[in-house]
Chain A
Amino acid sequence: MSTTPVTPTDSVEPLTNPPERAEVRRRRKLPTPGKVLAWAVMIVILLITMLPFYWILRTALSTNPGLLSEPGSLTPPEFTTGAFERVLGMQSTDEALAEGGSGAELNFWRYLLNSVMVATLVTVCQVLFSAMAAYAFARLRWKGRDKVFALFLAGLMVPTVFTLLPNFVLIKQLGLIDTVLGIALPTMFMTPFAVFFLRQFFMGIPMEIEEAARLDGASRIGTFFKVILPLAASPIATLSILTYMTAWNDYFWPLMVSYTDSSRVLTVALGVFRAQSPQSGTDWAGLMAASLIAALPMFLLFMAFARRIVNSIGFSGIK
């Protein structure tokens, strides 16, 4: 934040009309009423951003009859951790019914495991394969490199949503419908974005470092794993986190591919949970508890790597 002082010359500004004046004061940066107003706007935005999360927690810690009798209560009506127990399968059917749950079996642990398997499979494979390709584009000399690279470029422009239907047909023909592998497969090998993102960083690594390793007798493959990858640890970590989040939160593709509990991931399970309950008797406490648990791993990941993720958002990789 620069400290350039702005002198109060609003009155001489030629084009000032009333709505603009309001703006002028809002973005004022000295400790003026304008700055106070700017912070006030920021706080309102933060409240809108964060309050729904409080509401998830408040709802998840209530009983359903309580929720319906006190819809406006700011604290959990009839505080209980029953909804979490219900979701995690630790509550008896009688207790569940008493708190407004459906009493039906919810295979939450299975969905959680499926989500972890899909996201891990996608992240590990996609990042490794994309890094290998990025290295071949950034550092190796081979015939047809520019042409193959142009193909990857073209791939970047295909909207994912267009490939979903044909990919579904393909996965069906491969007999992988309703399997974790079938969900992971299309994004397991690469995304054009990942290849570009990493290529950009590899190109920035000084040639000399690699050549020194080569002179010491390291092979190309050895150089890649022992020199290049460690040097690019930071962008690789960033990419891995972003890939994991994308895979974890994906809904449309797993919805197409998975039909039963054996491959159902959390996002799809939440949708089914919601769709199956009657409009009047939705188990909101349970649904919010499940949503919170589904989102929790992403919050933890974010808390651990917030700076990295926040700073990765920009145009460095793609501009």
Chain B
Amino acid sequence: MTAVSPSTGPRASSSTATEAQSPPRKRRDDTRVALMFIAPAALGLGVFLLWPLIRGIWLSFTDYNLLTPAEFVGLANYRRLIADPIFWDSMKTTVYYVVLNIGIQTVVAMIIALLMYRLTQSTLLRGLVLTPYLVSNVVAGLVWVWILDTQFGVGNQILSWLGIDPIGFFTDSAWAIPTIALVNVWRHMGYTALLIFAGLQTLPASVYEAARLDGAGEVRTFFSVTLPLLRPIMALVLIMTIIGSFQVFDTVAVTTAGGPANATNVLQLYIYDMAFDRFQFGYASAMSVGLLIVLGIITVIQYRLSRADTSDMG
């Protein structure tokens, strides 16, 4: 996402340069048509994306409950945030979730992608792998709550056949976050695998030929050829999935609603709770800004890492 290049080709950029110097050129200026074409999208961008961005940051410096006008309070919300143990707990919970979710998902997706790459190009198979991604987080969450129900779920039924005591997957505070992380791995692994698969297909076949001639085995080829070549793409995949993962809300909201005993109180849930149950929009906005900063830092770090030696591809 961050790798979008703003260049529009030499023809276009040179023409804008000349237009900037002499605007009313008769030659070819589509400004009037262009304004018409761009108007709805620009309105959407301004009103529902850029303005909310500014407003969200502004609200984080205010005391606002939706009913009375927002009142500027300076850094009060941020001071409160730093001293709020629940905020830091939910930050920890979120990071724990992201580490589990992304760690497992990336490995599983890589395995699926490699298997598909090696075994078959079948669209049917790729379609099947993608199926969980078609259902909403809500449906995915509900299905697994039912399958893993402590008393009546088939998951625990299978465990009992194996002689294992029932596990409260969503009701035991030690299990809840790993379970939710796995539910989301289930939903997203196929999609992530297809992203990696698309990346694998861009790798030049010649390097595999060379590796084979050098007598490299499969594992060696994977770690010395595939993985380094795939690094820029993996970096992109990781940026996308990690940012998505930090925003986890739906699955938690329908499965545990933050419980048991705040064990799954992820950041988005706490923010939602603060805004819509306690009507503290100012403080909720400050926490949102906190998340925004975390996401920004992660993006920059990963972008740097992926750019560190792009010479891999050459």
Contacts and interface: CB of A to CB of B under 8 A. Distances in A.
Interface of A: 1-2, 4, 6, 9-10, 12-13, 15-16, 20, 23-24, 27-29, 35, 38-39, 41-42, 45-46, 48-50, 52-53, 55-56, 59, 67-68, 71-72, 125, 129-130, 132-133, 135-138, 140-143, 145-146, 148-163, 165-170, 172, 185-190, 192-193, 195-196, 203, 220-221, 224, 245, 248-252, 255-256, 267, 270-271, 274-275, 284, 287-288, 291, 294-295, 298-299, 302, 306-307, 309-311, 313-315, 318-319
A53 B131 contact: yes
Of A16, A23, A248, the most chain B CB neighbours within 10 A belong to A23
B30 A142 contact: yes
A159 B267 CA distance: 14
A251 B208 contact: no
B49 A163 contact: yes
Nearest to B209: A4
B136 A59 contact: no
A119 to B, nearest CB: 12
Contact of A132 (B38, B53, B291): B38
B189 to A, nearest CB: 8
B268 interface: yes
Given A24-B219, A192-B45, A165 B281 contact: yes
23 contacts: A16-B219, A23-B219, A23-B222, A29-B119, A52-B186, A68-B152, A132-B41, A136-B37, A142-B34, A161-B247, A162-B53, A185-B48, A186-B44, A189-B45, A248-B136, A249-B138, A250-B136, A256-B276, A274-B145, A306-B124, A309-B127, A313-B194, A315-B198
Interface residues of B, number: 122
A25 to B, nearest CB: 9
B49 A29 contact: no
B220 interface: yes
Contact of A141 (B19, B52, B137, B222): B19
Contacts of A284: 146, 152
B55 A224 contact: no
Interface string B218-250: 111010000000000100100000010001011
B190 interface: yes
Nearest to A195: B41
B33 A140 contact: yes
Given A4-B208, A55-B143, A251-B137, A133 B119 contact: no
Given A190-B41, A196-B4, 19 more contacts: A2-B205, A6-B212, A49-B129, A49-B132, A52-B144, A67-B152, A130-B41, A145-B34, A158-B49, A187-B48, A203-B8, A252-B250, A256-B272, A274-B145, A284-B146, A294-B139, A302-B127, A310-B194, A311-B123
B308 interface: no
A193 to B, nearest CB: 8
A275 B55 contact: no
Nearest to A15: B220
Contact of A140 (B34, B137, B276): B34
